[in-house]
Structure 1
């Protein structure tokens, strides 16, 4: 170990560094180690270190090597080096498993926590676990209490109903937390190859969402309301960048490995991960391939034309139905209908175990491009909805529910994950699960309840980044403020400083294209010029989008202008910040946009939001999110949202919130049909379009350009008219034949 660090461990030593180097060291792209856990207390540290003392004996040299390696570990904290290294080490191969069985059994018995310790650790990390079943199904009354209640039946009937606080208290659960990834092998007996893959990725300390969800999903977690509780249906609300992908991939892969050992004949899709965007699907597949290496589990990205189920039997039934209702032209129609069936049968059914897809792609595959009813997937045992609030939004709801209903296996487990999830999503989930249980003939699900896990404050932004609201007054002011971020001058230390790479979000695709064309020459040619800035939106092809994302991750593109297509799930650890050039349509969208930076607990990220005079009615919801985030961080002195600002901003009605969520700020929408639209005259619409235009050109320059375009068009018209007249004059002397 470093002797200097060892001697100064108990002192508050401040290294002498230059002030100019401090901001650069705090940038997320600098690669400095960060604590992945956002919330914790000193009391929880004592309990976690207490339960980490029982471990396998290792030589002193190995301990020192582990301490030195902790300094280079991205997910390791120097403050927690001793606690994380005292867990039971995972077995590297089958020989280590055989030699360490006795130590593992001892650690399981010694490390068991009582309810008070579990509650202390979960509360310190701001983790709330609740059972969403009915109160009479959660836990039957104790025998002693039953005898007393039988004697006093009249008093029981007159007893008032439980209050909301009492109901919440009755629903609370305190499962055994996961203190180290090494416990996945020693306590939960996951696959040895999977445990090695997790260790090779550098994961040592679990984040809050992993600390709470992995014991639940791996099953038989002590501290639940039922001793026989196994894997539940799960609703997870956790901040962006907190490690939700790893939380559902590890249990899913381990479940499939166990299935392969017990059932060697069944081959097909066993788990489906549904996400709203293709970029997020590709990212999950890339992360999953690192974890499934050497396990025999295959994870695949859904592509166009891929077959998920075999529909040969259903095709024959459809052909018989068509024969019974055919007309005189039946033979020709059958020939045309048989052609795509033959092409479809040529494509083999995928043998992947985990399928990652967007809703429309999977529904099109199951319904043969919506020409047939949606086919069932009888082997699927795990359905994972990532960014569930979007998937169950009206835009994707029917497609997502079709996928949910197509999973007909009796042991299906469903998990929903997002950073923002409203009560309507919970009600829809409960009703869908109840409908499915009735369809398969079950009245209740006592062994697999619906559990909700919330990390931190619900629907709140990550507290480890700086949030800034900047008033720009007009569209030209926003463009000027953005250029100041691109070209920072020698300003005061309190000013916003944002360095590439970063994302710029706009409200619509045309505005993203216009902003890109306006900024692409702002970067000097010596630094790469226009190649350093790009635009990405849903109108681009899949190959174009993947190429842009590849260059952005490699660092060849510094600034990426985009819409909300990249606001969810995108994980780029070196992203220094984001800019909301246009104000988000809702507070939830702001949470996800700001969550693109500050991933895995990294500090130094910046989220800048510009707003104009037209945006003032919509700012309060964003300001409330920022204020809640700063309260979680404990920033009382240097808060960016002052109390007087929250009190002066107007409240938005429910109707206006719905309109904003659907269409965005109306001042950003450019009218395509000038004159007579919605009772507006031509001058008024031109004035509104001028306000929404992204440009720094003056009115004089625009008039000169319009005059030049008009002169060119008039010259072309004159040439065309002259050519037509010349042709007419040449035809006057020709003979037209005899007239009747």
Structure 2
């Protein structure tokens, strides 16, 4: 035994199989389920404006006189925290048969609610009630200041009762025992921030605002709110809007005599088929054994209902009148029996279309309309389709909830104006308010992932950098965070995704699975092919999935270790949603890598600002931040026109088959350099000449065959000579 080796050993045990690195220090989203799905938990709830890194030691900088239970309110404990209950207080309601659950539940006072909500960075605001906001008019500075102060008074911040645990949903908020069992079987224990703030408001708004009756104007029994929720990606928004809808349908079905009947009561709209399919799966898990039927909209399905066709002409008898009335009612084209319908906007709107343009069959039974990824549904791409479905919901008791990780002020204004104008059009005397719920910093990326902005100079440089990431021992630029499969690669257009897949098809060695480990997914594929790729990727058979923005929104891949933006996103919102595919449900260790070239420099400023804000939220010191101030100052600021063009078409040089725009000549010159290929221009020219020669040969062969066919005599050309004797 060598004594020098023993003395020179480190006191820290190192696993040699991990390449000299401690395995326990490596955190990956695919390592397993996070014990705490919450993104924010500031150590000192009362200290406003100062951010704390999640998981930091609570003993440091602890406020004097602060109770330990208030800090560790949502930590894993054997017993629930004891809350104060003052008998006969003004916050509590008299005990009746209708609100027994409210009296047995323990109410937090306003200060405790304020501390809990602030510690989890939750902000709940009652938006002004009344008519739609007026159009903007240029005003002087004095009038602007007066209007600003007046608007600020109309926006009332409230502090509703937070949801402390999922087990409280049954006893306090009255959900069914079966649904509570389904939640427990799926492992839901600690609610995320958006669930903590939205579920009490959607299930029992009168109880949620019971701790602050002075601020809860109009919150009487049976009151419901329209909700605008802005929460980070992977924070559990799907579960937050499914639980109240399923519970509402179950409560209504209890009073019905025929339990087998199903009437459409809720519509969930999602921008893509993949997201709609995911919502259907989650809703079916949640409603298992409850009798609530969930259906995903498909082309050719039919919606239950009747429509008046209108029999023209006069009837000669009463029998003909009755027959005409029966014939005037026929099934609407659209879905079978369902309580909840999940659909993309185009499918449902086409099912509701009539012979008259811009008129659609109504949906009078729908009482809940849910817009998932509301900002893209109300964007010009889907706006007309979404508003068409919205206007078709003619029930006066309709409640609308909008959910997204990004929601601009223009989208919020459009949603408010639509809600107000609908109430005016249907003459609904409803004084209920609209609630806005914001989790964390609005329109920001999640703080629990590592962002990397890498300059690759040219297109070949991006291809080399991606090949380095495909290497098993590849590390990021700081040599501390490795990017391991599975991960997603986003491109700007479908042709670029197909070309990149063809280029990387044989980069993974055959011993590791070869070309079967890399796949491409885009909207040009058939539904069955897209579903097959998604299934293989979820099962771990595919390690690298190359795709477009079709998978950037809402789709939940909990085990994704990283995201690569091969092409710069078209907007800051697109970047937030792309990188949100990793680090979901509070998992740490996700990596988001973005390549940019010389052509992308004018558009990188927005992404750099989002990364800087995310690192600030995570409590990263300025000295360790990847986005230094000098870099943010050096990057050019894009103009409004540049932002608009980028959002609509992407980077000009990579539009791929869309034709030249305003910079047509420049784009034409760069077209060859923007192709994803390692082949030289001479090799591509030879291939194109060879393909052209083959196509020309086939064309000449078809023309020759056609000429020979035309020269043959036909039966008409041959003169009949009669019958020979």
Contact 1:502 1:558 in 2 (8 A): yes
C-alpha distance in 2, partners of 1:727/1:136? Answer: 74
Stretch moving more, 712-721 or 362-371: 712-721
1:261 Cα offset (Å): 1.2
Partner of 1:412: 398
Partner of 1:82: 77
Partner of 2:616: 631
C-alpha distance in 2, partners of 1:725/1:366? Answer: 51
Partner of 1:187: 172
Closer, same or farther: CA 728–304 of 1 in aligned 2, 3 Å: closer
Closer, same or farther: CA 195–659 of 1 in aligned 2, 3 Å: same
Contact 1:380 1:409 in 2 (8 A): yes
The one of 361, 375, 395 equivalent to 1:375 is 361
**Is structure 2 residue 441 aligned with structure 1 residue 457?**
yes
Contact 2:128 2:155 in 1 (8 A): no
C-alpha distance in 2, partners of 1:136/1:532? Answer: 55
The one of 161, 166, 184 equivalent to 1:199 is 184
Contact 1:52 1:84 in 2 (8 A): no
Higher helix share: 1
CA distances 1:233-276 after superposition (whole Å, capped 9, x unpaired) = 00000000000001011111111111111234573111110110
C-alpha distance in 2, partners of 1:371/1:725? Answer: 48
**Is structure 2 residue 369 aligned with structure 1 residue 387?**
no
1:407 Cα offset (Å): 1.1
**Is structure 2 residue 247 aligned with structure 1 residue 254?**
yes
Contact 2:131 2:421 in 1 (8 A): no
The one of 295, 299, 302 equivalent to 1:304 is 299
Contact 2:450 2:590 in 1 (8 A): yes
- The alignment of Structure 1 onto Structure 2 pairs a total of residues equal to 637
> Tell me, which stretches of 5 or more residues in structure 2 are unaligned?
1-10, 46-57, 59-65, 84-95, 133-144, 316-323, 720-725
1:425 Cα offset (Å): 1.5
Partner of 1:243: 236
C-alpha distance in 2, partners of 1:548/1:254? Answer: 34
Partner of 1:320: 312
Secondary structure at the aligned position of 1:310 is classed as strand
Closer, same or farther: CA 84–433 of 1 in aligned 2, 3 Å: farther
C-alpha distance in 2, partners of 1:365/1:136? Answer: 32
Closer, same or farther: CA 424–623 of 1 in aligned 2, 3 Å: same
Closer, same or farther: CA 262–462 of 1 in aligned 2, 3 Å: same
C-alpha distance in 2, partners of 1:490/1:585? Answer: 27
1:195 Cα offset (Å): 1.1
Taking only aligned residues, the RMSD between alpha carbons, in angstroms, comes to: 3.8
Partner of 1:467: 451
CA distances 1:304-359 after superposition (whole Å, capped 9, x unpaired) = 12222423x412x1x539x99xxxxxxxxxxxxx9xx9998598962211111110
Partner of 1:208: 193
Matches within 5 A, 1:107-506: 111-134=106-129, 164=149, 167=152, 171-219=156-204, 220=206, 221=208, 222-223=210-211, 225-226=215-216, 228-229=218-219, 230-264=223-257, 267-311=262-306, 313-315=307-309, 317=310, 319-320=311-312, 345=331, 350-367=336-353, 373-443=359-429, 445-446=430-431, 448-489=432-473, 494-495=478-479, 497-506=482-491
Contact 1:671 1:685 in 2 (8 A): no
Closer, same or farther: CA 359–728 of 1 in aligned 2, 3 Å: closer
Secondary structure at the aligned position of 1:280 is classed as helix
1:22 Cα offset (Å): 3.4
CA distances 1:153-196 after superposition (whole Å, capped 9, x unpaired) = xxxxxxx9585498269610100111111111121121111111
Contact 1:386 1:418 in 2 (8 A): yes
TM-score, normalized by length of structure 2? Answer: 0.80
**Is structure 2 residue 22 aligned with structure 1 residue 30?**
no
1:226 Cα offset (Å): 2.2
1:215 Cα offset (Å): 0.7
Contact 1:210 1:244 in 2 (8 A): yes
C-alpha distance in 2, partners of 1:129/1:600? Answer: 22
Contact 2:44 2:71 in 1 (8 A): no
Secondary structure at the aligned position of 1:582 is classed as coil
> Tell me, which stretches of 5 or more residues in structure 1 are unaligned?
1-13, 54-78, 89-100, 138-159, 325-337
Contact 2:519 2:546 in 1 (8 A): yes
Stretch moving more, 216-225 or 691-700: 216-225
Contact 1:273 1:386 in 2 (8 A): yes
Secondary structure at the aligned position of 2:519 is classed as strand
Secondary structure at the aligned position of 2:464 is classed as helix
Contact 1:52 1:87 in 2 (8 A): no
Partner of 1:589: 574
Partner of 2:142: none
Stretch moving more, 160-169 or 226-235: 160-169
C-alpha distance in 1, partners of 2:663/2:109? Answer: 70
Partner of 2:634: 648
Partner of 2:680: 698
1:638 Cα offset (Å): 2.3
Secondary structure at the aligned position of 2:369 is classed as strand
C-alpha distance in 2, partners of 1:255/1:728? Answer: 72
C-alpha distance in 2, partners of 1:200/1:357? Answer: 27
Secondary structure at the aligned position of 1:414 is classed as strand
Partner of 1:75: none
C-alpha distance in 2, partners of 1:716/1:439? Answer: 64
Closer, same or farther: CA 41–719 of 1 in aligned 2, 3 Å: closer
CA distances 1:498-517 after superposition (whole Å, capped 9, x unpaired) = 11111111111111111111
Closer, same or farther: CA 457–169 of 1 in aligned 2, 3 Å: farther
Matches within 5 A, 1:539-578: 539-578=524-563
Secondary structure at the aligned position of 1:82 is classed as coil
Secondary structure at the aligned position of 1:81 is classed as coil
Closer, same or farther: CA 48–564 of 1 in aligned 2, 3 Å: farther
Stretch moving more, 378-387 or 686-695: 686-695
